Structure 1
Amino acid sequence: MIGLSSCSAITMTRYAKEQNYSLTGLEVHAEGRLNEQGDIEAITFQVTLEGDLSPEQKADFLEYTKVNCKLLCTVSPDIAISYEEVKELKMMNANCSLEDGSCCV
């Protein structure tokens, strides 16, 4: 998930430069959802976009990234991919398996 988040952020940053968008800050967090067999069935990306961006530009970022992130293109088409803009990142499913919670940091 870290690799997918990083690739998404790089794709968005590159696209912002190409389009002359005023992107001043960006955070991406990805989390997978497992099915009953333990396979990933969906990946949700939470994205914060900072800068003087219109709602249309923000929607454009998310759609462009979903289609053009090179690493994301290697994910099985059976896995549902979604991007959502959030004002502040929060852990979507903070079910840590380590006692100190370090897996959720």
Structure 2
Amino acid sequence: MNWIDIAADDAVPPGDVIGVETAGLDIALFDVDGTIHATDNSCTHGDGRLCDGFLEGHEIECPLHQGKFDVRTGKATYAPADKPVRSYPVKIENGRIWLAVG
């Protein structure tokens, strides 16, 4: 597994989501109760950018068709989304957010 440095550990406001593009990836980073989670930034149903969606607890709602995903696992939790979004392992080290890829 390769780890890439993706953002500063304070880049994601508490209870919010941001989009980050790095190493050819478009990633959504979520801060849920002080824990950072990462998924692909594109909804599997309508190709909406999840960073433009609405984060409630551990679920992100797509801004296009209101499908929802669990940001901890990527699992689709509300129709019309029915396919999971890819999630990534994350670690915080030396003030940086690291994402596991590959």
TM-score of the aligned structures, taking structure 2 as reference length? 0.28
Please identify the structure whose Cα radius of gyration is greater: 1
Give the number of the structure whose residues are more often strand, by fraction: 2
- Structure having the larger proportion of residues in helix: 1
